[in-house]
Structure 1
Amino acid sequence: MDLTSAESKTAYDEIKAYIMQKYGLKISSLYIAQVKQRCGIIERENYNKAKSGDAKQPQYPPEKEAVIKEASIYFRML
């Protein structure tokens, strides 16, 4: 069964709600974007870039990576 482009684009809010309901974990949009990037899903360019080049960005905890990947598979993003 083929997916339409609208069906394949799950909002981050849906992923966060799914993870909260199933696992009771709060996940930030940044963590979801980092896992998607690591899996090779290319996102659009971020226009809200840091002004300084050495700005530190928090990394997702390894235990949450598996949860985000499972939710992405559930929503057919991976």
Structure 2
Amino acid sequence: MNEYNATYEEIQNYIKKKYGRNVKSCWIAHAKEICGLNPRKSHRRIGKRVYPCPDEKLPWMKDAFKHYKMI
């Protein structure tokens, strides 16, 4: 794995440009967990994840992670 981790904004911009859709930062965090990238827990999060990444958007996240050589 690469040591560079793209910012959430970079990932959001990549997905917006390639797929024409907006994604939530909480979806990115959940996708990172799924891919074993260990995101930091938000200081605003209490308890379980409220907005997990929808299954249909997970391929977009993985594509962005691969684009930025995170996986």
TM-score, scaled to structure 2: 0.83
Structure number with bigger Rg = 1
Query: Aligned-pair RMSD on alpha carbons?
Result: 1.9
Aligned-residue identity in percent: 31
Q: Which amino acid is 1:17 matched to?
A: N
Q: Mark the CA change 1:48 to 1:76 in structure 2 (over 3 Å): closer, same or farther.
A: same
1:66 aligned residue (38, 59, 68): 59
2:68 match: 75
Q: Mark the CA change 1:49 to 1:56 in structure 2 (over 3 Å): closer, same or farther.
A: closer
Query: How many pairs does the alignment contain?
Result: 70
After TM superposition, list the pairs within 5 Å mapping 1:9-48 onto structure 2: 9-48=5-44
TM-score, scaled to structure 1: 0.77
Moved over 6 A (4+): none
What stretches of structure 1 of length at least 5 have no aligned partner? none
What stretches of structure 2 of length at least 5 have no aligned partner? none
